[in-house]
Homo-oligomer: A and B are copies of this chain.
Amino acid sequence: MDVHTTPPEPTLLEGLATTRAIRRYTDRAVTDSELATVLWHATRAPSGSNRQPFRFLVLRDGPRSRAARALLAQAAHDVWSTKRTSDGYDTGSGTDPTSLKSRLAATLQQYADHVADAPVIVLAGLVRYRPPGPLEGASVYPACQNLLLAARAVGLGGVLTQLHALVEDDLRPILAVPDDVGLHATITLGEPAGRHGPVRRRPLAELVYEDAWGDPAAWAVDPPGTRFTQAGPPTR
């Protein structure tokens, strides 16, 4: 019996603590109602002067979506092939199939192979009113994070990538993206498949300072049970 049950909605702090990148999805379609909930909560995020320059383009099975998916699949294949080598996924503990590195490599390979089949792909854009710069993301990435958190709340999962950047020249005309719009994220969404692990981060004391850069904050202590990781890909 294949009954879809919605898990209970987490509290706000539980949601922040347990939302993690989800790269494998079941075949279940994401419903219109789920999309409305996820996108509406995404757009509650703040932006500079509340200009709301963020826009979300949802790709499902329309004609342009299918063409865009094919381009993004090529991008995923290319970026993973490069990353597999440059980040050393096939060396060291990567040769042990039970290692964390090997399991991550398998997940990323699977993602590259199936990204075009994700139930939903959302492109996040920013309507620019000034020249591009490193701070402009303040008006689009908070909304992307809200999107991923809202997905978690309704039992979906996703991951923020920048796959569009590798095929942007071909992608923009297909999707009729105007010249004054920056594309900032390619987010895949779907119902999570299988089990997935905890959020792993560096110890809080490595990420938080007080009064001056690098100065320890005495209160910056991780709660019991926190799972740690080294920063970055395996070779770092």
Contacts and interface: CB of A to CB of B under 8 A. Distances in A.
Given A56-B208, A207-B43, A36 B221 contact: yes
Contacts of A184: 134-135, 137-138
Contacts of A52: 201-202, 207, 231-232
A193 interface: no
B207 A54 contact: yes
Interface string A21-42: 1000000000011011101110
Interface in A1-22: 9-17, 19-21
Interface in A174-231: 175-178, 181-182, 184-185, 199-202, 204, 207-214, 217-223, 226, 229, 231
Contacts of A177: 213
A44 B201 contact: yes
A162 B135 contact: yes
A92 interface: no
A52 to B, nearest CB: 5
B209 A39 contact: no
| A interface secondary structure, majority | mixed
How many copies of this chain does one complex carry?
Answer: 2
Given A134-B133, A134-B182, A17 B33 contact: no
Given A16-B150, A36-B221, A150-B16, A57 B209 contact: yes
Contacts of A106: none
Contacts of A44: 16-17, 19, 199, 201
Contacts of A64: 211-212
A88 interface: no
A111 interface: no
B153 A11 contact: yes
A142 B165 contact: no
A141 B202 CA distance: 18
